[in-house]
Amino acid sequence: MPTLDRLIDPIRHSPRLPELVRELSALLELERDRREKFYDDVTPEQKAEFIEGEVIVHSPARSNHLDVTLRVAQLLHTFVQIHQLGTVKSEKCLCVFPRNDYEPDVVFFSTGKAATFRADTMKFPIPDLVVEVLSESTQSRDRGVKFEDYAAGGVHEYWIVDADQSVIEQYRLRPASGENEANYELVLKAGQGMLHCAVI
């Protein structure tokens, strides 16, 4: 993944820099307004996300998706509770990133973050672990904008579960170094065996 400098450099040297900055500022302002409206309009009953200025409302999930999500959440929740490591949430936990808002299938927050939650908390910080169970309608985002944003936001581990193929992909965050931004490294892709979670 290229560094920010490499992305900005062509714009910085462009004679259209002032015009481009005005356009980007106007886009960001419009996006901020839409995001505030999203916060006002979204209800606890909905599963909705705010991604790149658009509201994405999710349709009901298939039985297999729900079963796998529940199993992963139960396993993580049980281990985390026994060892008092933080908290696990699933399905409608709205996680706020600098630009986007996501509701991952399963998330884990360490004790420091979990200690800040109240009974009425509806907007949560960036998790330490995210698990997404693939579906046809979400696969491109799970492997695209979310993959990039979770890394940029500092989500230490990201698991992608293909329920239909019974395969899990485990990614760990590789810190930024030199000219490269933080990005994910595939640690495991398997349908059986042992998964060692570095975050929990």
Instruction: Find the angle CA(176)-CA(170)-CA(85) to the nearest 5 degrees.
Output: 85
Instruction: Find the angle CA(91)-CA(96)-CA(98) to the nearest 5 degrees.
Output: 145
pLDDT digits (tens, 9 = 90+) for 142-154: 999 999 999 999 9
pLDDT digits (tens, 9 = 90+) for 84-136: 999 999 989 999 999 999 999 999 999 999 999 999 999 999 999 999 999 98
Mean pLDDT of 41-62: 92
Q: Quick one: pLDDT at residue 3?
A: 61
Rounded to two decimals, the pTM is: 0.89
